[in-house]
Amino acid sequence: MKLNHIRPARVFIRIASFIRLHLTILIVAIIVGFLGYLGYQGLSLLNHMHVKPQDLLSFLGTPSQNLDSTNGVTNILILGIRGEGDDSPNLADTMIVLSYDHNTKIPTLISIPRDLWVPSLQAKINSAYYYGEEASPGAGIKMAQAAVLEDIGLPINYTAVVNFTIFKETIDLLGGIDINVNPGFTDNLFPIPGMENAQPESARYETISFATGSAHMNGDTALNFVRSRHAVGEEGTDFARSRRQQQVISAIKSKMLTPAFLLDKNKLDAFFSILDRNLKTNIPQSLYPTLAKAALDSKNIPVRSITFSNLPDSNGITILYNPPANQYKGVYVLIPKDNNWTALKKYIDNLLKGKQ
């Protein structure tokens, strides 16, 4: 399916409640949250998103009639890629599935570990989009969708790809965010952009530190905070990164959902310009009103979150395992315990159905 660059618009002032719910994850909000502005400035803005007036009629129907789904569930894959300026711009640092059950209207966010192994690719899942794009520009989405289906058994109906410039520029547009850092940490091996091949090797890295306590962060600082991977101890794990990402997203949500931002035309225009430059998706523009309707339908239902770890969950179940690196091309990977991929898929299915 041909990728389309989403054009800025604002819609339906009543969908502020939709934004309030779905900005829990900024990336998810970028895909569907800004649809809540459609119509806010009138039909004149529809042309910018290539949404035809007749498509707005889908807002009056049920999402299940218009959205692709499997067994009554629509799954949207969100890929946060590194972007231009990185040595591997198409590697995914963030992979999240937004799973929407049309029957219960429950939205669930599933965070996929970037180190999860894909047997058919003989590579980590965060490289699926990269390999697809290398094979044929535009094929990255299909390969990423196939990898998610293979590993966790979820068929993906739609995909969106964003780069981290969105986070940086949005935070700066908001005037920075306040984060409660706990615990503090130091990363002595934080990569310096553009210095990937510098010599000596030590010139490729810098030291970043975050002290325990409240901190006001601009876009660059916040991006360092969520991307740090080499701190000593628990803060050096991807699971800690996921937690820090949630903190930053929550802080962004708090500042965006204020009259100072929502009623500022210049800031809104700047925000949509950021989206326009950094977001690609295979979601047809004609479905934007339908996505907004789905969000309204679930506005009073808490968003569920599912994360995986190689540590026991609240029920004492350890689902992932870190095998010896020499068995997997010398890299750190995660696989299901006992290499039982069927058990991993069943584990996820049970979580989605509320059985665990």
- The confidence score (pLDDT) of residue 268 equals 78
- The confidence score (pLDDT) of residue 1 equals 43
- The confidence score (pLDDT) of residue 31 equals 44
Is residue 214 in a domain? yes
The more confident residue out of 5 and 103 is 103
Q: Give residue 346's pLDDT band: very low, low, confident or very high (50, 70, 90).
A: very high
Is residue 31 in a domain? no
Q: Give residue 355's pLDDT band: very low, low, confident or very high (50, 70, 90).
A: low
Q: Cα(first)–Cα(last) distance of the chain, in Å?
A: 36
Name the pairing type of β-strands 205-210 and 4-5. Answer: unpaired
The model's pTM:
0.71
Is residue 335 in a domain? no
- The confidence score (pLDDT) of residue 287 equals 81
CB 286 within 8 A of CB 55: yes
CB 179 within 8 A of CB 217: yes
Number of continuous H segments (helices) and E segments (strands) in the chain: 13, 15
The more confident residue out of 284 and 222 is 222
Cα distances (Å, whole numbers) of residue 301 to 107, 182, 201: 8, 29, 50
Is residue 266 in a domain? no
Per-residue pLDDT of 99-123, as tens digits, reads 999 999 888 888 898 899 999 999 9
Is residue 185 in a domain? yes
- The confidence score (pLDDT) of residue 204 equals 81
Res 14 pLDDT > 50: no
The CATH number of the domain holding residue 239 is: 3.40.630.190
- The confidence score (pLDDT) of residue 167 equals 83
Res 218 pLDDT > 50: yes
Domain that holds residue 221: 170-256
Task: State how far the Cα of 287 lies from the Cα of 59, in Å rounded to an integer.
Answer: 9
Half-sphere exposure of 6 (CA within 13 A, CB side): 29
Number of structural domains found in the chain: 1
Q: Is the dihedral of CA 25, 26, 28, 34 positive or negative?
A: positive
The more confident residue out of 300 and 261 is 261
Tokens standing for 88? 């591997």
Is residue 240 in a domain? yes
- The confidence score (pLDDT) of residue 12 equals 41
Is residue 144 in a domain? no
Per-residue pLDDT of 227-248, as tens digits, reads 888 888 878 777 777 778 778 8
Tokens standing for 353? 């159905």
Res 342 pLDDT > 90: yes
- The confidence score (pLDDT) of residue 109 equals 82
Per-residue pLDDT of 141-193, as tens digits, reads 999 999 999 999 999 999 989 887 888 899 999 999 999 998 989 998 888 87
Residue 263: partners with Cβ closer than 8 Å, 6 or more residues away: none
Is residue 187 in a domain? yes
Res 336 pLDDT > 50: yes
